[in-house]
């Protein structure tokens, strides 16, 4: 590759450069279950039409790793149709898919071409007739941008040639009652602003403390040093989104509150030797604006991961069931690997479902299916408690 091409490349964003740094080599892996067998020829034709339109999926890293270089994509080099003998697999479709995806976590993406690949597994599981595994480096984009790309490439199953939609978050409207003086309303507004500023300062100080010295309570869930290099295993569970929404409404909380409650209850039930008082921390990362200090950003990200126990994410998916060129999608289960957590939990809403996707280092969490069971049982217990009190 010539030097001129290197100079003409688009620079990586600061966060993309962080994900290219040692110790932060993070990949997104998404298991998409289909209701029919997957026609590989159809997928290849569609990708040939779509991939060239997306700059990240049609660019590769420069030799110095600081810019994206536009390249001609040979889709056949990125799509792998796995040769499967159904007679050998029998009813162990889930095991085959999980083992195959786990093996991918030990197979680095080829940096001589765009950092993504697709694996087609025409094997029947309990939730699908076939599974498509999409793997992409985290520097290509975050979960939200990749979900937007997926939606842009699909159609509503119910109405063909119609794009699906993702719900837009609408902030709660503050209704000012006519009763009460302007002075009282002003006092309340000042108090609300002061509380927002105080909570923001507390969050900033807590984040700094986590980066510098504050570590989560040591539990069996925390992996050892170097956990980011270990193989991962992924499994998922599909639950009712309506159940979560009903609990949210009755308890006057957010969906995130319900999901965190389910997670806390499930982890407590999963570990019989769980300490009585523990500290588990979740963090939110935003784009780093300056181009200087990338190494510092990478160090801070690594420190935050090493001092916390797990990653938990909730992402909004399509409101309706979607299809990709005639392939109806049964579920979407995203996860990540290559970061310093032995347990990662992703929630993704899809139509009337909530997909719980769990990624683990099996040396730390040897039975992720048991943890999925606990997540499902915890949600059922919440619903039963509300029904018992006749709140639903």
pLDDT value, residue 297 = 56
Q: Which residue has the higher pLDDT, 180 or 127?
A: 127
CA distances from 114 to 37, 44, 132 (A): 27, 16, 19
Give the number of domains in the chain. 1
Instruction: Assign residue 337 the CATH number of its domain.
Output: 3.30.559.10
Q: Which residue has the higher pLDDT, 354 or 91?
A: 354
pLDDT in tens, 41-62: 999 999 988 887 788 999 999 9
Beta strands (DSSP E) in 244-301 are: none
User: In this model, does residue 320 exceed pLDDT 50?
Assistant: yes
pLDDT value, residue 388 = 84
User: In this model, does residue 126 exceed pLDDT 60?
Assistant: yes
Over residues 293-319, mean pLDDT: 74
Residue range(s) defining the domain that contains residue 24: 3-388
pLDDT value, residue 169 = 61
pLDDT in tens, 178-196: 545 777 878 888 888 898 8
pLDDT value, residue 234 = 97
Contact between residue 60 and residue 111 where contact means Cβ atoms under 8 Å apart: yes
368 backbone φψ class: left, alpha, beta (φ>0; ψ -120 to 50): alpha
pLDDT in tens, 341-356: 899 999 999 999 999 9
Token pair 């979607």 is found at 322
pLDDT in tens, 285-301: 443 343 444 555 556 66
pLDDT value, residue 116 = 96
Rounded to whole angstroms, how far apart are CA atoms 330 and 130?
10
| pLDDT interval class at 210 (50, 70, 90) | confident
Contact between residue 126 and residue 96 where contact means Cβ atoms under 8 Å apart: no
- Residue 176 bears catalytic tag: no
| pLDDT interval class at 173 (50, 70, 90) | low
pLDDT value, residue 5 = 42
Rounded to whole angstroms, how far apart are CA atoms 150 and 322?
10
Query: 78, 119, 137, 138: which one is catalytic?
Result: 138
Q: What's CA 277's distance to the chain center, in Å?
A: 28
Average per-residue pLDDT in the chain? 84
| pTM attached to this predicted model | 0.84
User: In this model, does residue 273 exceed pLDDT 60?
Assistant: yes
Decide the pairing of beta strands 67-70 and 322-324.
unpaired
What tokens does 385 get?
A: 């408690």
Q: Which residue has the higher pLDDT, 88 or 242?
A: 242
pLDDT value, residue 170 = 60
User: In this model, does residue 2 exceed pLDDT 50?
Assistant: no
Q: At what angle do helices 368-388 and 255-270 cross, to 10 degrees?
A: 120
């Amino acid at each position: 590759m010539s030097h001129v091409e290197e100079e003409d490349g688009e620079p990586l964003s600061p966060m993309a450069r962080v994900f290219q740094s040692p110790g932060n080599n993070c990949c997104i892996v998404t298991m998409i279950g289909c209701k029919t067998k997957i026609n590989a020829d159809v997928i290849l034709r569609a990708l040939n039409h779509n991939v060239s339109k997306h700059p990240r999926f049609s660019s590769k890293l420069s030799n110095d790793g600081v810019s994206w270089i536009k390249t001609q994509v040979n889709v056949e080099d990125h799509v792998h149709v796995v040769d499967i003998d159904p007679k050998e697999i029998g009813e162990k479709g889930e095991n085959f898919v999980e083992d195959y995806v786990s093996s991918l976590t030990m197979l680095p993406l080829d940096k001589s071409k765009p950092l993504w690949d697709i694996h087609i597994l025409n094997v029947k599981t309990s939730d699908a007739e076939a599974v498509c595994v999409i793997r992409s480096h985290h520097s290509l984009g975050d979960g939200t941008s990749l979900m937007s790309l997926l939606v842009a490439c699909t159609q509503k199953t119910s109405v063909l040639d119609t794009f699906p939609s993702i719900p837009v978050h609408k902030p709660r409207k503050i209704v000012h009652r006519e009763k009460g003086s302007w002075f009282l309303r002003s006092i309340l507004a000042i108090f609300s602003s002061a509380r927002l500023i105080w909570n923001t300062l507390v969050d900033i100080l807590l984040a700094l403390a986590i980066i510098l010295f504050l570590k989560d309570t040591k539990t069996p869930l925390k992996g050892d040093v170097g956990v980011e290099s270990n193989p991962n295993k992924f499994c998922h569970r599909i639950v009712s989104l309506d159940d979560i929404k009903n609990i949210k409404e009755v308890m006057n909380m957010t969906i995130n509150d319900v999901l965190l409650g389910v997670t806390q209850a499930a982890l407590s039930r999963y570990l019989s030797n769980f300490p009585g008082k523990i500290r588990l921390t979740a963090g939110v990362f935003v784009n780093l604006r300056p181009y200087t200090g990338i190494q510092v950003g990478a160090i801070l990200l690594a420190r935050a991961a090493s001092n916390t126990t797990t990653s938990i994410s909730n992402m909004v998916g399509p409101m309706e069931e979607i299809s990709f060129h005639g392939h109806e999608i049964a579920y979407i289960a995203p996860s990540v690997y290559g970061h310093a957590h032995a347990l990662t939990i992703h929630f993704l809403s899809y139509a009337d479902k909530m997909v719980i996707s769990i990624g683990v280092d099996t040396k730390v969490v040897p039975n992720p299916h048991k943890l999925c069971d606990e997540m499902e049982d915890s949600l059922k217990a919440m619903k039963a408690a509300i029904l018992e009190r006749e709140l639903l």
